[in-house]
A and B are shown apart, each in its own frame.
Chain A
């Protein structure tokens, strides 16, 4: 392992569903400022790995450390709130009935207000904080190029635009680490370019580290310096995207049964 503490360090992650080992003793670390790719055929355990890392599912074993702090038994909301480690979902989710701006304001609220009780506030301080959140939301809406639709219900927008909303929402709390589950699935090529640029911007200008599950190998090649391949719940190999693609075992995993 390289010197210094990684942003995220996972040791021996395992998860079984009945007799099926969905994730089998996987180690993984993400360095500061890194964009790490996670690829593998369908059913190789990538999403399960995500769910176990972010507290959505309970792993059978393994330890997750976020900047040296053990967060193995933290809940999804605590990992987001206290760890500032956010995740997206494979199937795009936004608050459909709320407009784009409200979506982002909600995403920022728990980070601006300390706890549940302070969100019930009605005083001037609360209004100022919400105003600040709205301004921040508008900046991020501009960043992902959705100014024109900022006041439309999020559910009325295209799948690609919803991905952008989801991504902008994750940038609201000034995150340390963002985990993206297939950010490019089902969006048109023009938007792919925009998402790639936004990820690079967040990485370079805002210092956000990324872990990205992605099937589009061009995207992985242009974004990631290092890539890990999962197959049947195990880590198959690790290297630069070019090295990984050239690997015979990887070709076999994708092509063969």
Chain B
């Protein structure tokens, strides 16, 4: 951040700092949108916020640590199956299942990450792709536990109970608030991680791993920590997804899920929290919105992606921060705009 107070007083009239009112407005908009949006639009937003969770994890890997992992979909699926199995066998409540999904995804990430992180660049990417294929194969073939292609269905909608009180998110509108709460919580946790000293070390690894090593940073341990944390985010997303659509099935491991997460992060702007938040809403909403023309949907989606790659190679994040500066009343010097 540049320190604007050290710049001598500008004689030109400054626009007012509108960041606080704009933030409040956006917050109110997020709270009220189910009241005026149709059920389908609300559903699309719920899906967007669910995908934000694994996308945060992926952003930690791609945007902060500088490694591309395709395994987020595997941990998303593991989270979904964990929640489904807990709900069907032990009849546990949503918060318990969510927590279990996070813990299981992180626990599985440790033995997978230890060998995988010995690899670099493309070999690592291939290895993480392998994880998705293996987990999908397990989900399909371990029929006694997973019921194979049929999947585990009939999961209850998220229910929260405290003492004698109990509340179930049965409508799309109610699910929206559950998803919003979790997405906000995950974003807050992500923010805490990246602004901690560890977050600074992760950025150092992304920028120059050998230099970070030479300054005493045990880079391998940090990369493992990032991989495990990213799995936790994906696990939470999977559990929420399973409870929302009430099914956990091998379809969750298909390429579409992996690419959706990648598009959110790369299109939104890797290394930026707000970029990924906007990315999740924009791309999932776009994908859902294009369902009005089903036969052209994927072609139109692909065309939008091509446009994005050529027009916004850095994602939306740089434009967002520029816009935010303008809302804050910081006008650029003449000529440099």
Contact = CB atoms under 8 A, between A and B. Distances in A.
A74 to B, nearest CB: 11
Given A98-B203, A151-B2, A151-B3, A169 B215 contact: yes
Given A80-B215, A97-B207, A109 B196 contact: no
Interface residue tally of chain B, by bracket?
20 to 34
B240 to A, nearest CB: 24
Nearest to A97: B207
Contacts of A87: 214
Contacts of B216: 77-78, 80-81, 110-111, 173
Chief secondary structure at chain B's binding surface: helix
B181 interface: no
Contacts, number: 92
Interface residues of A, number: 37
A95 B210 CA distance: 11
Contacts of A202: none
B102 to A, nearest CB: 16
Contacts of A120: 193, 196-198, 225
A109 B197 CA distance: 7
Nearest to B3: A151
Contacts of B197: 109, 113, 119-121, 126, 129-130
Contacts of B221: 116
Interface in A92-111: 93-98, 102, 105-107, 109-111
B196 A122 contact: yes
B193 A109 contact: no
Contacts of A86: 214-215
B156 to A, nearest CB: 34
Contacts of A102: 200
Given A95-B207, A95-B208, A106-B204, A89 B214 contact: yes
Contacts of B129: none
A7 to B, nearest CB: 18
A56 interface: yes
B5 to A, nearest CB: 12
Interface of A: 54, 56, 75-78, 80-81, 86-87, 89, 93-98, 102, 105-107, 109-111, 113, 116, 119-122, 126, 129-130, 151, 169, 172-173
7 tightest A-B CB contacts, nearest first: A81-B216, A110-B216, A80-B216, A119-B198, A119-B197, A95-B207, A76-B213
